[in-house]
Structure 1
Amino acid sequence: MSEQAFPLSRRLGAEALGTLILLATVVGSGIMADRLTGDTALALLGNTVATGAMLVVLITTLGPISGAHFNPVVSLVFALRRDILHRTAQAYALAQILGGMAGTLLAHAMFELPLMQVSTTVRTGSGQWLAEAVATFGLVFTILAGLRFRPQAIPALVGLYITAAYWFTASTSFANPAVAIARAASDTFAGIRPVDLPGFLLAETFGALLALAIAGWLLMERTPQSLPTPEPAP
């Protein structure tokens, strides 16, 4: 998922656009599912399928531009691997968070809901935090293992992993600080109370860093160069 051929401005645009569409999908499909059925399990299934499918599309189409991180902890991991510069990872994270917030607003507008909302959905406790650490560990490990052995399969691998993680984790697998922050601004099926965010963000960061450490050992990756390839000017 090399992005070096594209200037930073276009890579940031791809990260913002991708995260926007991802959150519009997560929140929008949650609203749609909630309106169509009173069965929570069926609503979650609709939310799951839409999210997993959209991830395949977004990573396939935008990956060649920016690497298709759409996730601040993924950008953090790539910076620690020296695949991108630290300042690039910071810019990516900002673009992802802003894009995610815009995607939530777009979903609200499409369903004629109040644009500005604050979630009241309680998501807290040790089980939820452990689930987020597990979900993020699995996501990052999937990406790193995919890069090591089957780069062309990463869109499908990530889409399938998130589809599964919606169901086997107690938190329904946010696995992404930008997603968590944006979902706190939606008092819908996909929401999370702002007060519950710190626990999720810490768990996601821990899971990502643990995946980086274990993948570095298990996959027998070569030591990265001291500096990444110089990036083109914006």
Structure 2
Amino acid sequence: MHNRQERLGTLMALASFCEHRLLDMIRSAALLCPIAFLDQITSSIARASADAFVGEVSYWLGLHEFNIIGRSGDELLLQVCNQPGVNCYDLITSFTGRNCCLNPSSVRVFLDHEPQPTAMKNMIHMAQMIRRGTIAKYDYDSYEENMKHYGQAHPPAYNMSNIPNNFPLFLSYGGRDALSDSNDVRHLLKMLKCHHKTKLKVRFLQNYAHGDFVMAVNAKQLVYDPLISFLNLF
């Protein structure tokens, strides 16, 4: 990021930026269904993947990229879909929660471009936080590797107190979101309880699930218009 006007949309990255004194690169942040604490996650696919150590096994077998499209993605889905409680006949709902406001055309556009590939380590990191209920950096599961990367035996937690109380934050989350569960978000909000009230805007949308924030037919009115109005204040 080289422009002060740029917005940051990832909570852990924001905390890390503040930790490394890079806050002057950004002036505000929009956090939509933020992924922070994950131990209350209700996504059957995400929970089953974490409990079955799918990411770790795949990485040990030499698969370093998670790409849902292609043979590797098919094999991973097959493992997950065999787990109890996972309904792979409705993948979007199993993954994101029951979205309220999607239409068939928007879903088709979404599936033409998503999900994007990511590093298998990202999947492992998410699984670690789901199982442990922590918001911490990647655990290499090795004393030597953790010492090399962090200077300590266990990965450090992301310190939310590094985010200044007067830093403008817009945060919106949904009552049906299976990835960013409302209980997990409320846990996060407790950590932000000292944030200046005029610099923290929270919008809770009871009927929204994870996908609604991206492509709901009314997302412009319910999410993005208020978001832009807030960011334009600063």
State the TM bucket, normalised to the shorter chain.
under 0.3
Q: TM-score, normalised by structure 1?
A: 0.27
When normalised by structure 2's length, the TM-score is 0.27
Larger Rg: 2
Looking at secondary structure, tell me which structure has more helix per residue.
1
More strand by share: 2
